[in-house]
Structures are given as structure tokens and as C-alpha cells.
Amino acid sequence: MKVSHLQTEDKGKNKRMTKQRRIIKEILCSTKSHPTADWIYEEARKVLPDISLGTVYRNLQVLLSENNIQELSYGKGYSRFDGNPHPHYHFVCKECGRVFDVEMPLADFLTEAAAQATGGIVESHRLEFAGICRDCRREAKIVNH
């Protein structure tokens, strides 16, 4: 039975545990600050003065592909703009990349839950779903008949 559809198809290949990769992972796991690549780079340099920023980025990609860490993407790629200024949710198809509006009521109670959990003032939230859109799902069915 093939399992090639598994999203968690991590590890697998012959990855080497270099000191650079180990240090980067350690830095990332020893902070709760959700650091940027550059901050990780500066921290890593305290231990490995010759490490390069490229190495940091490459290792972050490896760790991501192994599901060892996660990325909060505020960067990379490009912004998308929405002519509708009212709060609503979005769905991103990871097959075709399109972004859809999701017609469902706002879950405002989440805001209160988060306010309690953080002790801060929560003014808004952003909710984004990911998966496979209706069109791409149909196509998949046809292809696999």
C-alpha cells in the first residue's frame, strides 16, 4: 500500500546532523520568542562565528520539511489584497493556490477566550483554513478514477 499522499512524509532521506543544524534547532527550541531567521543567525554566530545566513535559511527549510518546527509566515511570497474590507475568513487551496472567502459566521467568542488566556486586550483575529478546494478535489477524483 502506497502512502505517498501522507503529508507527514518527513525524514526519510539521509540527513546529516551537522553542528550547524543542531545549534539552530537548539536555539529555536530554547526560546518562546518566535524569532526571525536573522535573530537565529545572530544567536548561532555566538557559538559558530563563521556560520552563514544562507545556512540558517537552508536548515530552517530542512527542519520545516521534517515537521520539526513551524513557520509563521509574515514574510516570503507576496501579499494578497481583498476588496472587501469587512472581517471574514479565508480558505487557501494548497493545490491550486487560490484564496477563497469562507461564508461562515465570525467566531467572536474566540476573542474572549484568547483575552483570558493571554491577559491582554484582543481586538481582532485572523482565521485561515488550508486544504484542497472543491475544484481540485474533483480533479483528483477524476485522475485517480
With b meaning 16 or more CB within 10 Å and e meaning fewer, what string describes 83-99? eeeeeebebbbeeeeee
- What x-and-dash track marks residues 9-38 binding DNA by CB under 7 A? ----xxxxxxxxx--------------xxx
Binding partner of 8, given DNA, its own copies, none, CB within 5-8 angstroms per partner class: none
**Pairs from 136-143 (Cβ < 8 Å, separation ≥ 24):** 136/93, 136/95, 136/96, 140/95
68 near its own copies, judged by CB under 8 A? yes
Binding partner of 55, given DNA, its own copies, none, CB within 5-8 angstroms per partner class: DNA
Residue pointed to by grid coordinates 472581517: 87
Which residues neighbour 34 within 8 Å (Cβ) at sequence distance 6 or greater? Answer: 72
51 near its own copies, judged by CB under 8 A? no
Nearer to its own copies, 49 or 85 (CB): 85
Binding partner of 15, given its own copies, DNA, none, CB within 5-8 angstroms per partner class: DNA
Q: Residue 124, Cα to own-chain centre: how many angstroms?
A: 20
> Which of 4, 70, 79, 84 contacts DNA by CB under 7 A?
79
> Which of 1, 6, 49, 74 contacts its own copies by CB under 8 A?
74
Residue pointed to by grid coordinates 484564496: 99
- Report which residue type is found at 143: V
101 near its own copies, judged by CB under 8 A? yes
- Report which residue type is found at 80: R
User: Nearest approach, Cβ of 56 to DNA (angstroms)?
Assistant: 8
